[in-house]
Amino acid sequence: MMRFSGVCSAIVLVVLSGFAHAEQEAWALFDKVQHAVQQYNFDTSFVVLKGTKVDTYRWLHGRTDTQEIEHLIPLDTSGVDILRRDSVVYYLLTDRPAFVTLSSSIPELPSLLFEPKSKVSELYNAIAGSSAVMSGRNAQLLRLTAKQSSRYNYWLWLDAETGFPLRIDTLSEQQTPLERWLVTHMQISPELPENLRALMDADLPAPADSIDKALPQTSHQLTWLPDGYQQVTEPATIPQLENSLLSYWLLTDGLHQVSVFVQNSQRLPTQAYRDGATTIFVQAGNKMEVTVIGPVSIDTARQLAASVQ
């Protein structure tokens, strides 16, 4: 009997260590993909597929010993260039003055590629999947499965050779694809791309000293938060909505952001829309209208909107 239980526990131990090893391997892949997008000099193009809509971008990145530079060009929108030098992001516009923020990554890129592993591993389990051929390259699948079902899942395919991400699918909790990020062209070079070298030294406007933090006097309360989310204590003001906005909250789980807007009632029905993985949920009411925008399921958005009092 002793021997039997000994054998059983040995088997359980072997299986558990196997799982632990697989998990470690998957996080090693995650490290590899982050290392690729943060350390390599590259010139790539990618598309973002949201339903029937396609957005195309060109994305360049370079590093010298002391400086990092990243350039994102939305090809479908003329007149906007997004540039990051170290931790300053510039939105360069042709017809208006540049808009400058402080951020260590460009928010228009998948935040998954830049957020620290410790933060991501709090929210997700990593599983290494099978390999497949993608655009003629050998791709390794990495699945990030949300620990809480309210969060979307990610499937990443990374180049087996360089670790560069080739495709990122955002899937709902029912594993329905909502959004696809897909690299169409990729060139990794040992040297800094020439056009980035010029931008490295270009004269750019200084970031604004501080953001005006005069929040609207909120008369409402948010009584519930989705698992893992917390309120951003002092979100920036929204000048263009100042007249209509009654209350506003910005929530984050470190990887995703959800906005909750409270406005006067427009007497329109409760409705939900989807822009790729972003849900837009409008909760109608007699006195106020609550709009929830963010990468959450409609159920979560409904619950969040209902919690406004």
Partner 1 sequence: MSSEHQDWLSAASDNNALTKAQLDRLLSDAELQNTLARYNLIGATLRRETHSPLQANFSDDVMLQLADEPVYNLQSNRSMYQRIKSAVAVAANGTWLQPVAQGAIAAGVALMAVFGVQQYQQSPEAALSPQPLLQTQPIAGFATPVSLSQTTVSDRFAEQEQQAMLEQQKRLQALLNAHRQQVRVMEQAQQASHNTPDTGTGQNEQ
What is the rounded end-to-end Cα distance, in angstroms, of the chain?
A: 61
Q: Out of 162, 236, 299, 306, point to the residue binding partner 1 (CB under 8 A).
A: 236
- Answer for which of 42, 152, 164, 261 binds partner 1 (CB under 8 A) is 261
The answer to whether 266 contacts partner 1 (rule: CB under 8 A) is yes
Q: 143-170: buried (b, 16+ CB within 10 Å) or exposed (e) per residue?
A: bbbbeeebbbbbbbbbbbebbbbbbbbb
**Alpha helices, DSSP H, located in 44-150:** 117-123
> Do residues 263 and 284 make contact, with C-beta atoms less than 8 angstroms apart?
no
CA distances from 192 to 33, 64, 149, 183, 197 (A): 19, 7, 42, 20, 7
304 binds partner 1 (CB under 8 A): no
Retrieve residue 287's tokens.
């006195």
Options 9, 10, 19, 35; binder of partner 1; rule CB under 8 A: 35
130 SS3 class: strand
Q: Which of 178, 246, 255, 262 forms a contact with partner 1 (CB under 8 A)?
A: 178
Contact 304, 259 (CB under 8 A): no
Q: How far is the CB of 158 from partner 1 (least distance, A)?
A: 14
How many other CB atoms are found less than 10 A from the CB of residue 273? 11
Does 234 bind partner 1 (CB under 8 A)? Our answer is: yes
Q: How far is the CB of 21 from partner 1 (least distance, A)?
A: 20
Please identify, using beta-carbon distances, which residue of 9 and 149 lies nearer to partner 1: 149
**Count of residues in contact with partner 1, rule CB under 8 A:** 73
148, 278, 303, 307: which one binds partner 1 (CB under 8 A): 278
Q: Taking the complex as a whole, how short is the minimal distance between the CB of residue 276 and partner 1, in angstroms?
A: 8
Q: Give the footprint of partner 1 on residues 44-103 (CB under 8 A).
A: 48-49, 51-53, 55, 68, 74, 77, 80, 82, 87, 89, 91, 93, 96, 99, 101-103
Regarding 272 and contact with partner 1 (CB under 8 A), the answer is yes
Of 66, 65, 46, 64, nearest to 56 by C-alpha is 46
Q: Interacting stretch for partner 1, rule CB under 8 A, among 121-129, 176-184, 191-199, 221-229?
A: 176-184
